[in-house]
């Protein structure tokens, strides 16, 4: 049915400007609710009404995405809603992360995963309608922990099964007793099969650790045993047991030649490195890691993004 433009304008003004319900408009104009609904739809289709969602304000998601991308030289920033803002959105970061992974993974990709809550939850949320011919590998050795978020071999297996691809497990600890032990383990054919893929990663997904955040107790004991003083060494955070200091600088430690993990160079050289992190206790660590230029894509929540934006002066960094 064709409606007069003047009638559509009248209905649109009552609905959008005066906030009348469709039933109220129907009574006012002597129409029924279905007619009013169709006229509102026609007003939009004819361009009489245009709806624009504006978030380009301080603290808005679009604003924060643009500013953080520019500040850290990132290709993309994805921001989830905060748990306190929307009921039941505690896993919004995980859902957003899993959705993004699904959109970028393609046949033939080699995907590396780190450990931690962010990665574990992301994998739990993965849903693939069409399977991908991919290879999924762990990028850091294991720790003797009960919590499933540190069982990286299991996380990798679950991810591969959901994607429809294959996976390799890494049967080696993250930190060993000596360089000699590490070198011998890296020469093992099963371990080498995994570590050899770290330089061929198409997609790397990692969390960001902060020194004051939860750390596997076994790993913490090893660090304390080796008298690794984070404060004296100006260590701020880590990615897969590789330590970062101020302004994203890599901090070398006595443990470097005893760690079985992807190297800082391999993190940087992955075709796409995705970091997932949030929380006030991680702001300094996140800023450091993003400033290193090793990350392409950052996924967080709005609260963290807002605080991170004001954390320090604008910087210009880029992934080599």
Q: Are 303 and 82 in contact (CB under 8 A)?
A: yes
Instruction: Judge if 84 and 156 occupy the same domain.
Output: yes
Instruction: Judge if 35 and 181 occupy the same domain.
Output: no
pLDDT in tens, the chain (320 residues): 788 899 999 999 999 888 889 999 999 899 999 999 999 999 998 999 987 765 555 558 888 999 999 999 999 999 997 654 433 344 789 999 999 999 999 999 999 999 888 999 999 999 998 899 999 999 999 877 666 777 899 999 999 999 999 999 999 999 888 999 999 999 999 999 999 999 999 999 999 988 755 555 545 555 544 545 666 677 888 899 898 988 889 988 878 889 999 999 999 999 999 999 999 889 999 999 999 999 999 999 999 999 998 865 444 444 54
Give the range of the structural domain holding residue 11, as residue numbers without chain letter: 5-45
Among residues 70, 55, 117, 56, the alpha carbon closest in space to that of 278 is found at: 117
Instruction: Judge if 26 and 147 occupy the same domain.
Output: no
Instruction: Specify if 319 maps to a domain.
Output: no
Instruction: Judge if 277 and 151 occupy the same domain.
Output: yes
Instruction: Judge if 209 and 72 occupy the same domain.
Output: yes
Q: Please tell me the total count of domains within the chain.
A: 2
Residue 34 burial (C-beta neighbours within 10 Å; 0-12, 13-18, 19+): exposed
Instruction: Specify if 52 maps to a domain.
Output: no
Q: Are 52 and 298 in contact (CB under 8 A)?
A: no
**CATH number for position 155:** 3.40.50.1360
Instruction: Judge if 85 and 169 occupy the same domain.
Output: yes
């Amino acid at each position: 049915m064709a409606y007069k433009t003047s009638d559509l304008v009248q209905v649109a003004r009552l609905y959008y400007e005066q906030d009348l319900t469709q039933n109220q408009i129907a009574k006012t104009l002597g129409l029924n609710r279905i007619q009013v609904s169709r006229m509102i739809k026609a007003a939009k289709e004819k361009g009489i009404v245009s709806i624009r969602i504006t978030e380009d304000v301080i603290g808005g998601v679009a604003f924060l995405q643009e500013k953080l991308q520019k500040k850290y030289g990132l290709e993309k920033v994805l921001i989830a809603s905060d748990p306190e803002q929307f009921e039941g959105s505690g896993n919004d970061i995980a859902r957003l992360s899993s959705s993004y992974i699904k959109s970028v993974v393609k046949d033939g990709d080699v995907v590396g995963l780190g450990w931690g809550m962010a990665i574990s939850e992301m994998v739990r949320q993965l849903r693939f309608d069409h399977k991908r011919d991919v290879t999924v590998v762990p990028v850091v050795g294991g720790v003797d922990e009960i919590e499933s978020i540190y069982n990286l071999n299991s996380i990798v297996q679950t991810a591969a099964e959901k994607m429809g691809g294959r996976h390799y497990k890494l049967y080696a600890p993250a930190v060993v007793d000596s360089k000699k032990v590490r070198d011998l383990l890296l020469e093992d054919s099963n371990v080498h099969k995994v570590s050899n893929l770290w330089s061929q990663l198409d997609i790397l997904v990692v969390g960001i650790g902060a020194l004051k955040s939860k750390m596997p107790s076994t790993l913490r004991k090893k660090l304390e045993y080796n008298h690794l003083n984070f404060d004296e060494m100006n260590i701020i955070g880590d990615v897969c047991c590789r330590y970062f200091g101020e302004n994203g600088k890599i901090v070398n430690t006595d443990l470097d030649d005893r760690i079985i993990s992807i190297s800082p160079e391999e993190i940087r050289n992955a075709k796409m490195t995705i970091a997932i992190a949030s929380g006030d206790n991680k702001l300094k660590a996140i800023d450091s890691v993003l400033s290193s230029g090793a990350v392409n894509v950052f996924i967080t929540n709005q609260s963290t993004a807002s605080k991170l934006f004001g954390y320090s002066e604008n910087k210009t960094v880029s992934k080599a």
